[in-house]
Amino acid sequence: MAASVLVLSGCSLQQHDPEVTFYANGKTIRIEPTIYCDVEGSNCAERNAPGTLKVPAGKVVQISVDGQLADGLWEVVCVYENAARVQEGCSSPLLGKGDDYTYTLAVPNDSDQLLRIEVHEAAGAVLETGQPLMRGSWVVDITR
């Protein structure tokens, strides 16, 4: 009987893509990457459709990444619409290195409406500018 338990446990340890959790307005979604590449940032494949989450204007979104992302480098970027209905962007500093598992995304003003959030994982390679090459992207489209 112990052998069958070990076999069943071994089957559940399959490798899977890292997931990111987004929480806002009392709702939580957990998504897999929309695009994911190998560790060098090549051999990329589209994986999943963007997630959707309802976020009222001016509200924050809490983002949590799993250990694989937190051990490397990751960032949050967003697109929002300001009171004048002009789209603007925002980005977090580079997070991770085992220290950052969460990030709270807040728009500058209470009337600003988030439109899209992306979490980017850095690859092991860097661009000529010194910026890390993106390995994966987790995308959430915001509904009102």
Does residue 10 form part of some domain?
no
In this prediction, what percent of the chain has a pLDDT beyond 90? 72
- DSSP for 111-130, please give it: T-EEEEEEEEEEEEEE-TTS
Q: How far apart are CA 23 and CA 104, in angstroms?
A: 10
Look at residue 25 and give its three-state secondary structure.
coil
Number of separate domains in the chain = 1
Q: What is the pTM of this model?
A: 0.86
The burial class, CB within 10 Å (0-12 / 13-18 / 19+), for 24 is: buried
Q: 114 forms bridges with which residues in the sheet?
A: 80
Mean of the per-residue pLDDT values for the chain? 89
Tell me the per-residue pLDDT of 30-67, one tens digit each, with 9 for 90 and over.
999 999 999 888 899 999 999 999 999 999 999 999 99
Does residue 6 form part of some domain?
no
Are 69 and 89 in contact by the 8 Å Cβ rule? The answer is no
- CATH code of the domain in which 134 resides: 2.60.40
Does residue 12 form part of some domain?
no
Does residue 86 form part of some domain?
yes
Does residue 3 form part of some domain?
no
Tell me the per-residue pLDDT of 59-96, one tens digit each, with 9 for 90 and over.
999 999 999 899 999 999 999 999 999 999 999 999 99
Phi/psi of residue 42, each to 5°? -120, -175
The answer to whether residue 5 scores a pLDDT higher than 60 is no
Q: For the chain, first and last CA: distance in Å?
A: 52
Q: How far apart are CA 125 and CA 133, in angstroms?
A: 6
